[in-house]
Structures are given as C-alpha cells and as structure tokens.
Amino acid sequence: MNEMNKLVAVLDYLKKTFVGKDEIIDLLGISMVARENLFLLGPPGTAKSAIVRQLSACLDGGNNFEYLLTRFTEPNEIFGPFDIRKLRDGELSTNTEGMMPEASLVFLDEIFNANSAILNSLLTALNERIFRRGKESRRLPALIFIGASNQLPEEESLAALLDRFLVRVKCDYVDPDKLMEVLLAGWNLDSTTRGNMQPSITPADILHLQQECRNTDLSPIRQSFVDVVHSLRNTGIKVSDRRAVKLQNLIAASAMICGRTAARLSDLWVLKYIWDTEEQMEILEGMINSVIEKDIGSHAHPLVQHNHFPDAEELMKEVVNLSKKWASDSLSYEEKNVIKDKLRYVQTRCDWIRHNDQRTFVKSEIEKLWQQILQAVPAS
C-alpha cells in the first residue's frame, strides 16, 4: 500500500468513526499534505478534540503533543523546562523531551488563551516551523499544527495567532437526523474490541506526500484561482499575496488526495475555509460554490456535490448589515462597490434557501436594498 492509499484509509476510518464530519476530516488530510495549519471553531461537545486524538492515534511512530491552554500556561508547559544540568554550566538549553518541539502532530486546545509569555515563540513555531528561546533555535518536525477554540479572538494580538492558521473550519453539532448513527459510532469508538482495527500512516509517509504535492500541475486552474482571489478582495475578504501563494498548497493537496496529478476547478472548494469572521462563511460559501459547481466531470472533487444550503436567518442578517452600511453618509466609491459585490453574492446564495417563504422574504429585502442603491445613482 503506497503512502496515499494509507492516508485515504486513515481518513475513511475517521469518517466512519465520526458521523457528519467528512468535510473537517478531508481538510485535516489536505492540511497535512499541504503542510499548513488548521483551526477548529466550535462549542464544547462537537468532537473537535476527539477527531484530532483519533488522527494522532493513527500516526504511527510520531510523537504527538496535545495541550489545553489557559491564561496562566507557562512556556515550560509547552516547550519544556530548562535543562538543569546544562544550566549549572551556564548554558541555557531546553529539555524538549515529550514536548511540542519534538512532536509530529501538535494540537493546542483553547489556543486563544495564549498569553504574552508564550505568544512570540508560538507565532514563530506556527509560521516558520522553528523553535526559538533565547539563543536557542531549532527546526520543528511538526507535520501540522491544529488549534481549537469555542470563539474567535477579539484582541488584536491574538488575531495574529488566527492568521497563522490558513484553514479555518466550523465544527458544529451533527444534524439531528444522524443522531442514531452518532450514538452507534460513539459506542463503537469506546469499545476495546476496535483497538487493533485502525489503519495507520507514519510521519515519513506524510513527509513524502508533502514533497510529492509540489509536483501537482496547477496550470489548469491558475487563471480561475487568480480571478477568485480578485473577487474575494473586492468583496472585502482579505487575501494577502502571502496567503494566496500558500493557498496553492491546499489546492494541490486536494487534487493529490483525489488521485490526480493536475488540479481541477473543483479543487478550489478549499477556499471556502479562509474566513476571518463568522459573517464571511456564507459569503465564501456562495462565491466558491458558484465557481466549483461548473466542474461536473467524473474526476471532480466529491465534496462539490455537497454544497451546503444557506441559512436564511444568516443571509438576512447580512442584508440588514449591508443596508446599515449603505445608509452611512461617508461611504467612499470603493466602499460602495464592496457593498454591491457582497449583495450580489448574497443574492446568488438566496436561490439555495430551501424554505419558499423564507426565500421570498429575503429576496424582497434584497430587492429593496437594490432599489435604494439605484436611486442613489446620479442621473447621467
């Protein structure tokens, strides 16, 4: 079994174990192959930690590190204590045995509790895969950093921490219709008889996949990707040049996990998960779905068929928000264009609302706002 078959076997096993979490699990696999970090947002009890722990259990031969951060977490708890023996000789050296600097997979729960004492070292580790402490500096073997939290950060210093996670996924409660499957899967997971049934993959296998990922041909989608990045920026979603370059890794990894050597339009589905705020989720969903749904070939990514139905209430909130912004007296020409672009994408998503009355109501409110916008255009 080659490395990709091993990874697919692990991902399939996790999907059977955690019902309704296919997207999250696929993104974990893609992030590992792309060597990019992933952030999970969701309330307690949504299996965030359980999924990561089970993935860790399938990583054979790697040291895995998990820690629940608090406001009082000290650097020693993450990076390891100073080596007392070397300290006596006047040398500052960290004993990293069993700590984050030696881990292949790192999971930091409640990551936005990180305090100033560990923040700088953590940012460097996440961004550069380097551990620095005083004069000490070493490369980290981490294949992926996974962070989790119940809420998004409000402090500007912590926003920099979120920026180090290229992929952001909301982990919510499973659909009530799947509760029976969840109960059965949870019962089987706790059963000791399943201990020897799980597939595995080694860190060396993942490293080889990361190297092979660079050979993926992105030329078939590069112009479409550029167009999408321009559209996102026009809509007010920040995509820096650095992030755009790194996003190519995710697209390549998506193609590779599908068994292809070249990317397709459907591989742009990963761009749904680069939001900075919860308000951007629906906008990104509509924008990216309108692009990837054009890829209807047999080799399209399976999740193209899994377009989420929009939440009418969330769309209505966005319409109200745009109406308030439009009512401002100090809008620049660029700000007005951003509002128009956002409204177009909300209007596109509106067609996917399942409930007829809700769809009709939201459409009528969108039409009212368009009328206000048109009335504000000066006559030529």
The residues facing 39 across adjacent strands are 147, 168
Whether 273 has a pLDDT exceeding 70, the answer reads yes
Pick the CATH number of 3-194 from 3.20.20.140, 3.30.497.10, 3.40.50.300, 3.40.50.720: 3.40.50.300
Which among 280, 274, 378 has a CA at the least distance from the CA of 338?
280
Tell me the mean pLDDT in the region 49-72: 92
- pLDDT computed for residue 61 by the predictor: 85
Q: What is the pTM of this model?
A: 0.79
Whether 341 has a pLDDT exceeding 70, the answer reads yes
Q: Which of 90-104, 260-274, 295-309 has the lowest mean pLDDT?
A: 295-309
Angle at 50 between CA 34 and CA 272, to 5 degrees: 40
- pLDDT computed for residue 192 by the predictor: 44
Percent of the chain with pLDDT over 70: 88
Read off the amino acid at residue 325.
Answer: K
**101 Cβ contact list (under 8 Å, min separation 6):** 79, 80, 94, 125, 131, 138, 140
> What's the chain's Rg over C-alpha atoms?
23
Whether 338 has a pLDDT exceeding 60, the answer reads yes
Whether 191 has a pLDDT exceeding 70, the answer reads no
Tell me the mean pLDDT in the region 194-216: 88
Q: What is the pLDDT of residues 23-41, one digit of tens each?
A: 999 999 999 999 999 999 9
- pLDDT computed for residue 255 by the predictor: 95
349: exposed, middle or buried (Cβ count in 10 Å: 0-12, 13-18, 19+): buried
Q: Do residues 65 and 79 touch, judged by C-beta distance below 8 A?
A: no
Which among 80, 160, 48, 52 has a CA at the least distance from the CA of 114?
160
Work out the mean pLDDT of the chain and round it to a whole number: 87
Which among 145, 170, 144, 159 has a CA at the least distance from the CA of 114?
159
Domain ranges across the chain:
3-194, 214-305, 312-375
Task: Name the more confident of 337 and 191.
Answer: 337
Tell me the mean pLDDT in the region 335-356: 80
DSSP symbol at 110 = T
Task: Name the more confident of 344 and 148.
Answer: 148
